[in-house]
Amino acid sequence: MQPGRAEKRWMYETMLLSRRYEEAIEKIYLEGKQPRFDMAAGPIPGEMHLSNGQEPCAVGVIAHLEAHDTVTATHRPHHQAIAKGVDLKEMTAEIFGKKAGLSGGRGGHMHLLDPRVNFVCSGIIAQGLGPALGAALSRTMQGKPGVAVAFIGEGAVNQGAFHETMNLAALWNLPLIVVVEDNAWGISVSKKDSTAVERNHVRAAAYGIPGHFVPDNDPIAIYDVAGEAIARARRGEGPTLIEIETDRLAGHFMGDAEQYRPEGEKDALFARDPIPRLRDQMLAAGELSAEDVASIDAAVARRIDEAVAFARESPYPEPSDALEHAFHPVT
């Protein structure tokens, strides 16, 4: 399954938006945190897990999804949230802890929840698998269209939740696609030091379902494999497991000095950055012009400027708003 020109362009634009967005967030995050790094200081306090390098996973899969399809994401959620269409202004305000944020500042960057596009994420490894399973079950029971995609990291495959969810999804033949973004590192522990098999897609055999591996962080190849899996789920033929070889260009979180990386690894990762690669492919194929590239750059910069300005200008919530929304009122 190959993307059309418009889809390819959307994939490039969305990857670029995610990347430039995170570069902006990275810069703002460091405000107030220099020279001494204090996680609680600055306009964006708390942990910050950047997804740069992993954008192909988000766009290659989510290109096939509609707003009514469900995505559950991880503690590293920005690329998927942006691809799924979470409102960028409200998302940014949330990351700043502002009143206009998705939850009014209750969640922050690890808890971006948007029912308008059926997107959730969470801060606990593998937590999203069960809820994605439930969304897939709900669609099947209601006879409503829609599939569920659970994005996890390669570290999450070693959680019990993975086994339980895969078995149930297969047993109940649910429209669930589990996408493993293998960035080779669980904080500082490498995949080879944590995982008994080289590639996690082989674990699909344990559940009698298809498993696919996509090498080389290639959005077009991801699009192809994810498209088949999602179409299969929409036809009622059940779940699929996909592992994608991707790259974490940043540390686990900002402030991570990454001493555990082998010498030269980061340079090699940047040398195969998927965004310039796709851009150059599309330019060479005549699918983008130099003018297109410039206008996409400008449009992306404008959206980010607007979102950041919105977040900066938004007021903080009233401190006592902390006490609201633990429960819905009884109607």
Point out which residues bind another protein (CB under 8 A).
Answer: 70, 72, 101-104, 106-107, 111, 113-115, 118, 120, 122, 124, 127, 129-139, 141-142, 148, 160-161, 164-165, 167-168, 171, 324-328, 330-331
CB of 131 to another protein, least distance (A): 3
Please say whether the beta carbons of 212 and 240 come within 8 A.
Answer: yes
Phi–psi pair at 272, nearest 5 degrees: -110, 30
Question: Looking at beta carbons only, is 129 or 308 nearer to another protein?
Answer: 129
CB of 321 to another protein, least distance (A): 9
Q: In what order do the strands lie in the sheet with 240-245?
A: 119-121, 70-73, 148-153, 176-182, 240-245, 211-214
CB of 163 to another protein, least distance (A): 8
The two tokens of residue 255 are 């402030």
- With CA atoms as reference, report the closest residue to 19 among 212, 203, 219: 219
Question: Looking at beta carbons only, is 60 or 101 nearer to another protein?
Answer: 101
CB of 206 to another protein, least distance (A): 14
- Rounded to whole angstroms, the Cα distance separating 122 from 261 reads 26
Question: Looking at beta carbons only, is 135 or 180 nearer to another protein?
Answer: 135
Question: Looking at beta carbons only, is 49 or 248 nearer to another protein?
Answer: 49
CB of 274 to another protein, least distance (A): 30
Q: What is the largest CA-CA distance in the chain?
A: 60
CB of 280 to another protein, least distance (A): 40
Residue 237's identity, in one-letter code, is E
Question: Looking at beta carbons only, is 291 or 327 nearer to another protein?
Answer: 327
- With CA atoms as reference, report the closest residue to 316 among 109, 97, 108: 97
Residues 6+ apart with CB under 8 A from 70: 118, 119, 120, 132, 135, 136, 146, 147, 148, 149
H/E run at residue 291 = helix 290-313
Question: Looking at beta carbons only, is 280 or 318 nearer to another protein?
Answer: 318
